[in-house]
Amino acid sequence: MWYLFDHEPFKTTVGILQIVTGLLLLFESTAILGVIFFIPIAANIVLMDVSFMNNAMGSAFTFRFAFYFILCFAILWNDKERMKIIWNTMIKKFIWKRKFPGIMYALVPVFAILLSIVSVIPKMIIYYVIFPEDIFKIFDYLKKIFTSM
Exposure b/e, 35-55, CB count within 10 A at least 16 = b = bebbbeebeeebeebeeeeee
Burial grade of 21 (CB within 10 A; 0-12, 13-18, 19 or more): buried
Q: What is the pLDDT of residue 109?
A: 92
pLDDT surpasses 90 at 63: no
Length of the chain: 149
Q: What is the pLDDT of residue 14?
A: 84
pLDDT tens digits along 103-141: 888 899 999 999 888 888 888 888 888 888 887 888 788
With CA atoms as reference, report the closest residue to 28 among 85, 89, 84, 82.
82
**Structure pTM?**
0.57
- Cβ atoms of residues 24 and 33 within 8 Å: yes
Q: What is the mean pLDDT of residues 68-89?
A: 89
Q: What is the rounded CA–CA span in Å between residue 33 and residue 8?
A: 26
- Cβ atoms of residues 65 and 45 within 8 Å: yes
Q: Where are the domains of the chain?
A: 2-92, 102-147
35 confidence band (pLDDT: 50, 70, 90)? very high
Q: What is the pLDDT of residue 100?
A: 79
